[in-house]
Amino acid sequence: MHELGVVFHISDSVVKIAQENDAQHVHSVTLEIGEVSTVIPEYLLDVWKWNCKRVPLLEDCELLVERIPAVTYCDGCGKTYETIPHGKICPHCGSDKTWLQTGNEVNIKDITIE
């Protein structure tokens, strides 16, 4: 379960940002998670709750997750399409000269501090 490593990285980053801003407490963190990022939000939320109990600055901190849809771009026809239903083959022209445009991200979008 790589979610533990993801949580530790996010937690360390959030604590550093909070300390740089003289925060007393972090109320919430909003993450953007791509739908093909391999990070499972439900697992992440469970590990986050556990982690916040061991980091005083994050005690009772809420983790909010926003999903980023997976979108693929086709070099063959220049169109984009939903990745999940079609995979690597463009449904518009049949080309396999495609690349993932969005959907693999794990980003800290927002931190609410006191």
Q: What is the pLDDT of residues 78-97, one digit of tens each?
A: 999 999 999 999 999 999 99
- In this prediction the pTM is 0.86
Task: Measure the CA–CA gap between 112 and 23, rounded to whole angstroms.
Answer: 10
Q: Given this model, what pLDDT does residue 55 score?
A: 96
Which residues have a Cβ under 8 Å from the Cβ of 43 and sit 6 or more positions away? Answer: 1, 3
Q: Given this model, what pLDDT does residue 1 score?
A: 52
Task: Measure the CA–CA gap between 69 and 45, rounded to whole angstroms.
Answer: 19
Which residues have a Cβ under 8 Å from the Cβ of 64 and sit 6 or more positions away? Answer: 28, 29, 30, 31
Q: Given this model, what pLDDT does residue 6 score?
A: 94
How confident is the model over 36-76, as pLDDT tens digits? Answer: 999 999 999 999 999 999 999 999 999 999 999 999 999 99
